[in-house]
Amino acid sequence: MKRKKRIGVLTSGGDCPGLNPAIRAVTKTAIFCHDMEVVGIKDGFEGLIENRTKKLIWEDVSGILTLGGTILGTSNQANPFANGEEKKDVSKETLKNISSLDLDALVCIGGDGTLHIAHRFHQLGVPIVGIPKTIDNDVSATDYTIGFDSAVAVATEAIDNIHSTAESHHRVMILEVMGRYAGWLALYSGVAGGGDVIILPEFSFDIQKVCAELEKRSKLGKRFSLVVVSEGVKLGGTELVIKREVKGSTDPIRLGGVSYRIAEQIEEVCGLETRVIILGHLQRGGKPTDFDRILATQFGKHAVDLAVSGKFGYMTSIQGRNIISVPIQSGIASLKKVPMDFPLIEAARAVGTCFGD
């Protein structure tokens, strides 16, 4: 009998809502449309390094559309080219494991770090297709990544919920969101939640201008203010606030806590009582939004189509309303940051939002 074609799929890096819908779409499209076998790689590249896999069948992915996280597991500390605290290159052993799986294609679902690793394997001859996911939305060559919309929904709900306590106690409330070096999550949730001040990594902010806005609101009878801050904001335009470093991780720096420093500055400069809420990993949890379920389904289907047509070294992308493919290299060429002239920035300024610049 002729061997069935076989496709592998893994999720790597930080988890986020929408990974399971993508796994579901890859698996069902491969089985129903192309009569392929599907191999799930456990815990991302760690599963490739340690050769831990499982066959995926229809029953495995039935009912996971609404589930957050990933049924395959993930790891943000496994890098075959620099693995563990000693940064050991185990790529040759990993290539042998990939070869032993007899895959016709490998679909890698992940963010910037995952796609960098996937691109390197493609250069070594592995038939790779990428699917971009990250709550940071910082992958280039695509308007949106899986997980971003769900994280925006969580952050927006948090802003909605702190309105009442901010207003009751007449305080400045700072909500710190993730996003690393890009401000997409802070911008979208800040605008959606009605943030009075939004501080982004892309803009150098002046604490005097922030305080002037807060004092102006106070004089107008608005006795509370909401400030949305991205974790990657630099104090004084140069100083990142690093929470800790994780040895052996593909990106060891863990940001967090810049809001406490900004709160101190606000209280010192204008004397307004200020409180801080850091959402942290709440933004990665919960059910995927309808947008992420739809995007993941389209990306998963398109990824399999790319694999079947032999278009390797490409990743799925959404541009406007169109699902297309772009070279993985174009997606990782640079981090996608919020441009100064981005239309949502202009709209936010038009309704009175202050960016501290």
- Catalytic center residues: 136
In angstroms, rounded to a whole number, what is the distance separating the alpha carbons of residues 129 and 122?
9
H helices of the chain, where?
19-28, 34, 45-49, 58-61, 91-100, 112-123, 148-169, 184-192, 207-219, 258-270, 290-308, 328-332, 343-350
309, HSE (Cβ side, Cα atoms, 13 Å):
11
Tokens (6 digits) for 278: 């850091």
Report the 10 Å Cβ neighbour count for 17. Answer: 31
Residue in this structure with the two tokens 């992940």, named with its chain if needed = 110
Tokens (6 digits) for 145: 């990544």
Which H, E and C letters describe 260-302, residue by residue?
Answer: HHHHHHHHHHHCCCEEEEECHHHHHCCCCCHHHHHHHHHHHHH
Distances (CA, A) of 179 to 119, 229, 285: 23, 10, 15
Strand arrangement of the beta sheet that strand 6-11 belongs to: 53-56, 37-41, 6-11, 105-110, 128-132, 314-319, 322-327
Tokens (6 digits) for 298: 């389209």
In angstroms, rounded to a whole number, what is the distance separating the alpha carbons of residues 226 and 171?
9
Residue closest to 4 by CA, chosen among 103, 88, 98, 80: 103
